[in-house]
Amino acid sequence: MAEILVALSGGVDSTVAAALLVQGGHDVTGVTLKLWGGETDSGCCSVSDVEDARRVAQQLGIDHHVFNFGDDFDKFVVDPYVADYAAGKVPNPCIECNRHIKFDKLFRRADALGFDLIATGHHAQVIKADDGSLRVGRGADPTKDQSYVLHMLGQDQLRRLRLPVGTFLKDRVRELASELGLRTANKPDSQDVCFIERTPGRGEAGRRVFLGERIPLRPATIVDQSGKTVGSAPSIELVTVGQRKGLDLGGAPDRRYVIDIDHEAAVVTVGSFDETLTERTAVPDLAWTNGPVEGEFVVQCSAHGSRKPAVIDPVDGTTVLWNEPHQRVALGQSVVLYVDDTVVGGGMAGPTPASP
């Protein structure tokens, strides 16, 4: 049987993943990654999470280690998160953590230690395509699917990756944890952006506190399309295209949405919902899982967002052409392409291109 290094976050998904692999007769070792060194109350990277992972490993009879990747986490996740907001982009910290830490740094450490495979508790699957290539597939539970945040994985990583809970509904994962008597059976799911605390909140208020300690936040002027000032926002860095809530528009009766952001001038333009729509979304760094795929795709632009059909512009090979007008995608947001519920490509949204 294979020697497998299992990333144990201390949550129910990863601990059940480890238990299933042990039941399968594999030689399993658990590892918990210490990433964020600051304050946290997220159920991620805390002392209690390390203890939960250690206790479950002990119960399963497997070795357990803690790897401190804090410096790499700051360099590849936290610092870019702050820099993206400062530059007017919407960051994807969970995607960057997967890209640089869990599926790069951890893979290289596993190589150095002689492990054959790595396993995690992600709700996704590794699917073999008709051409023999491997792709990230959606998890069986559509409400917990994490394929979006794993879209960047390449063939070498997918060949060595195991996702034991990807074929289960989340309720069944908890049932398995209860049947096995695991201490994580009823543990709440961890939240995204582990380095932002629940208080004052993980929405705009929490981001403002976190970013305000690291970069200057600049107030923004809100104008309509005629250039008339209609309101203000406390920080241009936290305004996103398509946003409606959280804008001080002086009690305007009609719904207005952010349709354009001039980050340098700190000016936000608002308009009607229809004015947020576009037929094209640029993805200048679009990368294919295993070579370009022609035809129609289903495209997803946020971790739990709606899925809309589109094709790729044959002229430039990187612009998404929506079948129906779609809300503009925030600069820097990940755009992921699926065929038959498997990832075939993805990248980050660039500036909205002008219609031809």
For residue 225, how many other CB atoms are within 10 A of its CB?
A: 12
**Which is the catalytic residue, given 44, 94, 194, 301?**
194
Exposure letters 232-250 (e unless 16+ CB within 10 A, then b): ebbbbbbbbbebeeebebe
Bond preceding residue 219 cis, omega within 30 of 0:
no
For 153, residues 6+ apart whose C-beta sits below 8 A from its C-beta are 98, 103, 136, 161
Q: How far apart are CA 17 and CA 22, in angstroms?
A: 9
Residue length of the chain: 356
CA atoms of 42 and 202, how far apart (whole Å): 10
Identify whether 194 is a catalytic site residue: yes
CA distance 350 to 26: 44
How far is the C-alpha of 329 from the C-alpha of 274, rounded, in Å? 14
- The β-bridge partners of 231 are 222
- Do residues 243 and 209 make contact, with C-beta atoms less than 8 angstroms apart? no
Is 44 among the catalytic positions? no
**Radius of gyration over every alpha carbon of the chain, rounded to an integer in angstroms:** 22
Of 44, 45, 94, 97, the active-site residue reads 97
* Residue 109 CB burial class (10 angstroms; 0-12, 13-18, ≥19): middle
Active site residues: 97, 194
